[in-house]
C-alpha cells in the first residue's frame, strides 16, 4: 500500500464499485493471527512447524496432534453445493473490501497485502476437514526446482545453467480422498501365444498363434486414500506428476496452517470426484485380477464391482507454484510442498531434438538392414 493511500477510502471505493456492478454483497470478515510481541501478522513456517512473526521472529506453537478423520460418504450428498459467483472480502487489517471468487479460502488484500483466512462458517459448500501442512519452505522448493531443471535432457544448456524460479508462492489445492471396500465378480477370455512351423513356397516360417482360455471368479480389494484433485486445471497432468502425498498424515483442518499461503475451494464436488475415484479403483482391480494369470492377450474382461463402507476426506494439498523465464517466455512449474517433487514445463532445444531424431532413424535403419540380411 502506498503511503498516501487511506485503506478506508479504498474500502468505500471498493464498495461503490461492488454496488455499481450489482454484485450481491455478502460481508465476509477474514481474520489473521497477530504476534503477541509486536502485533504483526503471523505466518505458518514449514521449517519450524509453528506460526512465526516475520519481523521479530517470535514463534507460536501449532497443534500437530489432531489427525483428520474419515467421514461417511453420505455426508457428501448432504453437503451444500449452491455456489455464487462472487462475494465481498473484508480485510481484518486495513478494512478494505474487495470482490473475490466465492471459492477462495485464503485471499490476500490487494491494498495492504495482508493474507487472511475466511472463517469456516463463511465457506459455502462442503468445508475441508483435512489439511496437509507444508513441510518444506520456499528456498528449499526453489533449490528443488533448479536441481530438477538440470536433469531435463532436452532443455537448452543456457537455460539449465541460468534457470531461476520467479514469483514462487505456496498454495493449497483442494482434493478428495476415498476409502472403500470392493467386491468384484468377473468373467473374461485371455489368450496365450504359441508358435507353429509352416512351409510356404519352399521356405520354412515360424508363425505366431493364440490359444484362448476362459477365466472367472471373485476378487476383494480394499482401497485407502484414493486421491482426486478437486480443481479444474489445465495443468492437471503436471499436478498428477506431484503424487503421492502423505495423505495418511493429514491434520484436522486448522486455519493456522493456511496463514501466509493461498487456498481455494473445489471446482468439482465430492460426487464428481467419487466418480473419478471409482474409475481409478476399477483400473487397479482390473490389473490385480489379470496379475493372477499368465497371458499375452486380453480378449475380454467383464467386471461387476460393488463398493462398501465408503468414506472420504476433503483436504487441502500443499503445492508451490512458480515460473521461470527463458527468451521472454514463461514456463510454469509446481513443487510438492511435502516431498519436494517437481513437475512442469521447460523450453526444448531444437538441436537436441533433431539429433535424437536422427540417431533414432539411424538405429531403425540399421535394424532394418540387419533383419533383411538375417531373413534373406
Instruction: Give CA–CA dist 143/151, Å, rounded.
Output: 13
Residue 239 belongs to some domain of the structure: yes
Same domain? 97 vs 164? no
Same domain? 191 vs 313? yes
Same domain? 335 vs 312? yes
Residue 358 belongs to some domain of the structure: no
Q: Which domain holds residue 193?
A: 138-147+160-345
Residue 361 belongs to some domain of the structure: no
Same domain? 210 vs 81? no
Which three three-digit cell numbers place residue 148?
Answer: 530438477
Residue 371 belongs to some domain of the structure: no
Residue 179 belongs to some domain of the structure: yes
Same domain? 88 vs 167? no
CA distances (Å), origin 335, targets 50, 172, 240, 251: 21, 12, 11, 20
Same domain? 143 vs 117? no
Residue 238 belongs to some domain of the structure: yes
Same domain? 182 vs 112? no
Residue 1 belongs to some domain of the structure: no
CA angle 144–147–149, rounded 5-degree value: 110
Look at the pTM and tell me if it is higher than 0.85: no
Same domain? 119 vs 179? no
Same domain? 118 vs 13? yes
Q: What DSSP designation does 41 have? A: B
Residue 334 belongs to some domain of the structure: yes
Same domain? 305 vs 209? yes
Please tell me the predicted confidence (pLDDT) of residue 246: 95
Mean pLDDT per block of 10 residues along the chain (376 residues) reads 39 43 42 81 91 90 92 77 53 68 68 68 75 95 94 89 86 94 97 92 88 97 96 84 95 90 85 95 98 97 96 95 89 94 90 80 76 62
Please tell me the predicted confidence (pLDDT) of residue 201: 83
Please tell me the predicted confidence (pLDDT) of residue 25: 40
117-118 β-sheet, strand order: 97-101, 86-90, 27-31, 117-118
Same domain? 109 vs 142? no
Instruction: Give CA–CA dist 107/125, Å, rounded.
Output: 17
3-state secondary structure of 80: coil
CA distances (Å), origin 296, targets 192, 197, 207, 212: 5, 20, 15, 10
Same domain? 96 vs 143? no
Please tell me the predicted confidence (pLDDT) of residue 18: 39
Tally of domains in the chain: 2
End-to-end CA gap in the chain: 81
Amino acid at each position: 500500500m502506498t503511503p498516501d493511500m487511506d485503506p478506508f477510502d479504498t474500502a468505500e471505493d471498493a464498495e461503490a464499485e461492488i454496488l455499481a456492478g450489482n454484485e450481491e454483497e455478502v460481508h465476509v470478515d477474514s481474520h489473521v493471527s497477530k504476534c503477541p510481541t509486536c502485533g504483526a501478522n503471523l505466518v505458518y513456517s514449514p521449517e519450524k512447524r509453528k506460526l512465526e512473526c516475520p519481523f521479530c521472529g517470535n514463534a507460536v506453537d501449532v497443534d500437530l496432534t489432531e489427525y483428520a478423520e474419515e467421514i461417511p460418504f453420505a455426508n457428501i450428498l448432504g453437503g451444500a453445493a449452491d455456489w455464487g459467483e462472487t462475494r465481498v472480502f473484508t480485510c481484518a487489517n486495513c478494512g478494505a473490501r474487495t470482490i473475490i471468487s466465492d471459492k477462495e479460502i485464503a485471499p490476500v488484500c490487494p491494498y495492504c497485502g495482508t493474507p487472511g483466512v475466511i472463517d469456516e462458517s463463511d465457506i459455502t459448500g462442503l468445508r475441508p476437514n483435512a489439511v496437509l501442512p507444508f513441510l518444506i519452505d520456499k528456498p528449499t522448493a526453489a533449490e528443488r526446482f533448479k536441481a530438477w531443471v538440470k536433469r531435463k535432457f532436452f532443455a537448452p544448456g543456457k537455460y539449465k545453467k541460468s534457470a531461476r524460479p520467479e514469483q514462487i508462492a505456496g498454495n493449497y489445492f483442494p482434493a478428495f480422498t476415498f476409502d472403500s471396500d470392493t467386491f468384484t465378480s468377473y468373467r473374461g477370455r485371455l489368450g496365450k501365444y504359441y508358435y507353429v512351423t509352416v512351409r510356404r513356397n519352399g521356405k520354412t516360417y515360424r508363425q505366431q498363434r493364440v490359444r484362448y482360455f476362459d477365466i472367472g471368479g471373485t476378487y476383494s480389494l480394499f482401497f485407502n486414500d484414493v486421491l482426486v484433485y478437486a480443481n479444474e486445471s489445465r495443468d492437471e497432468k503436471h499436478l498428477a506428476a506431484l503424487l503421492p502425498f502423505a495423505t495418511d498424515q493429514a491434520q484436522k483442518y486448522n486455519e493456522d496452517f493456511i496463514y501466509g499461503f493461498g487456498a481455494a475451494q473445489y471446482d468439482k464436488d465430492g460426487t464428481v470426484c467419487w466418480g473419478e475415484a471409482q474409475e481409478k479403483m476399477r483400473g487397479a482391480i482390473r490389473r490385480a485380477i489379470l496379475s493372477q494369470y499368465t497371458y499375452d492377450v486380453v480378449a475380454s474382461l467383464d467386471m461387476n464391482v460393488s463398493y462398501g463402507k465408503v468414506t472420504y476426506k476433503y483436504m487441502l494439498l500443499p503445492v508451490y507454484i512458480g515460473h521461470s523465464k527463458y527468451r521472454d517466455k514463461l514456463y510454469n512449474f509446481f513443487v510438492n510442498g511435502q516431498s519436494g517433487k517437481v513437475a512442469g514445463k521447460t523450453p526444448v532445444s531444437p538441436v537436441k531434438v533433431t539429433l535424437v531424431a536422427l540417431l533414432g532413424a539411424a538405429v531403425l535403419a540399421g535394424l532394418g538392414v540387419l533383419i533383411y540380411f538375417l531373413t534373406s
